[in-house]
């Protein structure tokens, strides 16, 4: 051996490299690999990545039922909860590594794939597959996943916003729950005098812009053009920021920044009666409120969020969402689409999704089904939350994405603290956001 | 005449063996250089080249000439991140390093009992999960319920909005940086202190030197190489700070606590502007390299020994 140092070295190097590569098998490398299994059945692997284990559980459950439609195929499912799905998918695409057949991506990450039309080349357009079924669903839940007129994702939840409130606080002051923003300001002023706020507020653009969407504003139009600075959007933005200013100055809005917005400080304020309610999406109930304020069972109710007195805008807004998209690399896109369609676009499974993982249906017929709309919840004093959501769901704002959404929202978030502190006016905020976003767009050209 | 040690012809190494013998050392050191080229030199050159392009990680990069650099110097968020990083760097150099030195001297004192315990305690932050640290500090810094504000509220003062104020948030970050890095820095100084010969202190004591004089004329001069080393790594590390603002404030409120590397990350990973992110990275490299050279010059590292 010692007579051949190069041979020894080469052998060690090869063994070392083999050891290194052997442990790094990609999670979904075998995805969509078809092979003849024993017994003559065709073997098909379907893989999926998403950030939320609940989706993994739901798809696993549904796939076990769905596969009965294909008796000649033996399915292997590789469904995984993967943190930071967007980055991992991007890294795999860039490095030529395989990506899963199905990807569950938060709506906020979708515009990143719109950059340089990545979405068109790496994901399957679902527009024709969805076809006429599109109108069975809340339209505002398709548009966040649209690019150049094509739909690339199927939504996982309604995510419509409502007003969660504590009736005892309103009863104590002999006040009605406000139905318009004017009433909201009147009621809020009375409560604020006693140090009770109407709702929490944070300086995150995604939360503040929720109010902008309710008023009927648009950041980008259907073609992806930046229209936030144009009329009527500029005026709408001013009105919403003026509402925000009034709420902040009077103490009607309980400011909770950063992690406080989701954590104990906010729930202490609820429990201590310093905070009467919150305008939040449907998922807030199961994902945040009930787990963190379990001992407040029976003390909450919900109502539609206040509307603008002039009748313009919407009866609800929208925040969040996760779209499931099929990758172009999938070797079985028809089967993957069939699974997605079965699990997400049939009435019974929309209802089952709610029953299993508590995400409200965005299929109108499913939402109006008594199993959803008449289901009472003891946490809300046996109120039927679904009926409140069903009453506003079809009015969920339609809004559009763009590859410049990150630029727009980053600047909006950057400007908000100064607005909260009172060192920037509403007009200055809007001007700064428009200027920076337009600059980014121009720089891209 | 035949050399005494010359081997018989049949035992002499062949030409092939001699060639292998010459190549062997290079091959044995080559793993480092192969890895260095693949994981450092290659990406560095790639980043420099990429800084002149627009690239979203997929597809063909588009050449932009120096536009990324002109954009960078006209980018207010970049300059905000530079200012913030300067604050963190200054705090690390002029607060954390002296504090670590003082702690090291204190923990090296002969009279101190349970030295191992104290060293372990001060070192523990560095082995604590960043996520756990973040959660704890978010609670500590909470305006209404945090432990840090509790005395202020108790005394009737207005509580400080540690994480929500664009002014106070930098102090919050410095607090976290101090808690996390003082222990590790102290270990470097402790190692240096333990290498100083005890006889120097004994001789100084016999000559009547006070503790302060011993520190001034023995400890600090003897620690000079360690101080230079620590200062350089702290400077480089502080300019590359990412975890602390990322986990505690996400750079906020607004951009009040964003660091340069965090800005690089947001441009590259979150906005898929890998060309522009490379521009930020190359500029950061230039700044850190220049500052490190200036620092070494200031310490007299380049002066020739007389």
At A200-226, the pLDDT tens digits run 999 889 999 999 999 999 999 999 999
Q: Is the peptide bond between A232 and the residue preceding it cis, with omega within 30 degrees of 0?
A: yes
Element of type H or E holding A415: helix A405-421
pLDDT tens figures, A115-140: 888 999 999 999 999 999 999 999 99
Q: What is the pLDDT of residue A438?
A: 95
Q: Taking the model in full, what pTM does it have?
A: 0.82
| Interface predicted TM-score (ipTM) of this complex, two decimals | 0.77
- Rounded to an integer, what distance in angstroms lies between the CA atom of residue B131 and that of residue A83? 14
DSSP string for B40-107: IIHHHHHHHHHTTEE--SSS--EE-TTHHHHHHHT-HHHHHHHHHHHHHHHHIIIIIHHHHHHHHHHH
Is residue B87 within 8 A of residue B170, CB to CB? The reply is yes
State whether A410 and B266 contact (CB < 8 Å).
yes
Portion 12-31 of B in contact with A at CB < 8 A? 17, 20-21, 23-24, 27-28, 31
pLDDT tens figures, A265-316: 889 899 999 999 999 999 999 999 999 999 999 999 999 999 999 999 999 9
Is residue A6 scored above 50 in pLDDT?
no
What is the block-wise mean pLDDT of chain B (306 residues), using blocks of 10 residues? 59 74 87 92 93 89 92 92 94 94 87 80 83 85 86 86 88 92 91 89 90 89 90 90 88 89 91 93 92 85 64
Chain A interface includes B238 (CB < 8 A): no
DSSP string for A229-265: TSTTHHHHHHHHHHHHHHHHHHT-EEE--GGGGTSHH
State whether A410 and B164 contact (CB < 8 Å).
no
Q: Which of B66, B136, B254 to mutate to test the interface with A (most CBs of A within 10 A)?
A: B254
Q: What is the pLDDT of residue B215?
A: 87
- Rounded to an integer, what distance in angstroms lies between the CA atom of residue B73 and that of residue B88? 21
Q: How far is B17 from chain A (nearest CA, A)?
A: 8
Around Cβ B24, how many Cβ atoms within 10 Å? 15
* β pairing state of A253-255 and A199-201: parallel
For residue A203, which residues of chain B lie inside 8 Å, CB to CB? 164, 252-254
**Which residue, among A280, A318, A320, has the nearest Cα to A156 in the 3D structure?**
A320
Residue A430: CA atoms inside 13 Å, Cβ hemisphere, count?
A: 21
Chain A interface includes B151 (CB < 8 A): no
Q: What is the pLDDT of residue B276?
A: 94
Is residue A167 scored above 90 in pLDDT?
yes
Mean residue pLDDT of chain A comes to: 89
Q: What is the pLDDT of residue A240?
A: 96
For residue B149, which residues of chain A lie inside 8 Å, CB to CB? none
**Sequence-ordered list of residues with C-beta below 8 angstroms from that of A204, at least 6 positions apart, any chain:** A261, A413, A416
State mean pLDDT over A403-411: 92
- In terms of Cβ atoms closer than 10 Å to its own Cβ (0-12, 13-18, 19+), residue B212 is exposed
Q: How far is B146 from chain A (nearest CA, A)?
A: 9
For residue A410, which residues of chain B lie inside 8 Å, CB to CB? 266, 271
State mean pLDDT over A247-264: 87
- Rounded to an integer, what distance in angstroms lies between the CA atom of residue A320 and that of residue A207? 10
pLDDT-derived band of residue A19, with 50, 70 and 90 as boundaries? very low
Chain A interface includes B43 (CB < 8 A): no
Point out the residue among B28, B255, B271 whose CB comes nearest to the CB of A414: B255
Residue of B nearest to A90 (CA): B57
**Sequence-ordered list of residues with C-beta below 8 angstroms from that of A139, at least 6 positions apart, any chain:** A396, A398
State mean pLDDT over A171-180: 94
pLDDT tens figures, A85-110: 999 999 999 888 999 999 999 999 99
């Amino acid at each position: 051996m010692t007579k051949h140092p190069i041979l020894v070295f080469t052998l060690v190097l090869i063994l070392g490299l083999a050891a290194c590569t052997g442990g790094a098998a990609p999670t979904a490398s075998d995805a969509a690999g078809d092979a003849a299994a024993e017994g003559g059945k065709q073997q098909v692997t379907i893989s999926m990545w998403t950030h939320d284990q609940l989706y993994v559980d739901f798809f696993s459950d549904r796939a076990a039922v769905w596969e009965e439609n294909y008796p000649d195929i033996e399915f292997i499912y590789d469904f995984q909860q993967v943190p930071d799905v967007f980055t991992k998918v991007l890294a795999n695409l860039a490095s030529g590594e395989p990506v899963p057949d199905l990807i569950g991506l938060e709506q906020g990450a979708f515009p990143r794939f719109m950059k340089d039309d990545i979405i068109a080349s790496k994901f399957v357009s679902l527009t024709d597959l969805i076809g006429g079924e599109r109108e069975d669903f809340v339209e505002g839940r398709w548009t966040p996943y649209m690019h150049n007129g094509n739909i690339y994702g199927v939504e996982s939840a309604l995510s419509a916003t409502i007003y969660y409130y504590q009736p005892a606080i309103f009863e104590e002051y002999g006040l009605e729950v406000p139905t318009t923003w004017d009433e909201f300001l009147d009621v809020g002023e009375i409560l604020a005098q006693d140090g009770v706020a109407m709702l929490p507020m944070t300086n995150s653009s995604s939360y503040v812009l929720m109010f902008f969407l309710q008023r009927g504003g648009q950041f980008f139009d259907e073609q992806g053009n930046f229209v936030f600075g144009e009329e009527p959007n500029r005026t709408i933005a001013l009105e919403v920021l003026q509402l925000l200013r009034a709420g902040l100055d009077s103490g009607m809005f309980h400011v909770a920044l950063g992690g406080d917005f989701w954590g104990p400080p906010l729930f202490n304020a609820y429990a201590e009666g310093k905070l009467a309610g919150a305008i939040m999406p449907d998922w807030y109930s199961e994902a945040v409120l009930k787990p963190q304020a379990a001992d407040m069972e029976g003390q909450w109710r919900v109502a539609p969020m206040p509307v603008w007195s002039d009748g313009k805008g919407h009866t609800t807004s929208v925040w969040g969402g996760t779209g499931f998209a099929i990758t172009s690399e999938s070797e079985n896109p028809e089967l993957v689409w069939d699974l997605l369609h079965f699990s997400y676009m049939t009435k019974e499974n929309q209802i089952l999704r709610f029953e299993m993982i508590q995400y409200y249906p965005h299929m109108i017929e499913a939402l109006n089904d008594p199993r959803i709309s008449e289901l009472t919840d003891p946490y809300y004093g046996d109120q039927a939350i679904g009926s409140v959501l069903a009453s506003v769901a079809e009015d969920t704002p339609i809004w559009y994405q763009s590859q410049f959404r990150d630029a727009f929202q980053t600047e909006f978030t950057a400007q908000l603290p100064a607005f909260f502190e009172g060192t920037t006016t509403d007009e200055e905020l809007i001007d700064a956001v428009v200027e920076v976003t337009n600059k980014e767009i121009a720089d891209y050209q | 005449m035949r050399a005494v040690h010359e081997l018989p012809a049949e035992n002499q190494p062949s030409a092939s063996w001699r060639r292998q013998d010459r190549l062997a050392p290079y091959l044995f050191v080559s793993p480092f250089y192969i890895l260095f080229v693949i994981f450092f030199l290659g990406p560095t050159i790639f980043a420099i080249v990429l800084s002149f392009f627009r690239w979203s990680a997929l597809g063909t990069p588009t050449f932009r000439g120096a536009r990324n650099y002109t954009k960078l110097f006209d980018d207010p968020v970049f300059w905000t991140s530079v200012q913030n990083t300067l604050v963190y760097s200054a705090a690390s150099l002029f607060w954390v390093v002296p504090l670590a030195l003082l702690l090291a001297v204190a923990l090296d004192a002969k009279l101190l009992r349970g030295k191992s315990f104290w060293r372990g305690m001060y070192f523990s932050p560095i082995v604590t999960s960043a996520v756990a640290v973040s959660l704890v500090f978010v609670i500590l810094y909470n305006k209404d319920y945090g432990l840090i504000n509790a005395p202020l509220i108790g005394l009737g003062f207005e509580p400080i909005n540690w994480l929500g104020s664009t002014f106070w948030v930098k102090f919050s970050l410095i607090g976290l940086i101090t808690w996390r890095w003082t222990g590790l820095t102290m270990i470097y100084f402790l190692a240096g202190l333990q290498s100083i010969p005890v006889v120097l202190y004994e001789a100084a004591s016999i000559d009547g030197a006070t503790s302060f004089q011993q520190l001034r004329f023995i400890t600090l001069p003897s620690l000079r190489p360690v101080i230079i080393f620590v200062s350089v790594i702290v400077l480089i590390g502080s300019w590359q700070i990412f975890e602390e603002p990322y986990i505690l404030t996400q750079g906020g409120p607004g951009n009040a606590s964003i660091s340069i590397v965090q800005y690089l990350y947001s441009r590259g990973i979150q906005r898929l502007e890998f060309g522009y992110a490379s521009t930020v990275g190359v500029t950061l490299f230039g700044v850190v390299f220049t500052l490190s050279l200036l620092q070494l010059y200031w310490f007299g590292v380049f002066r020739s020994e007389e």
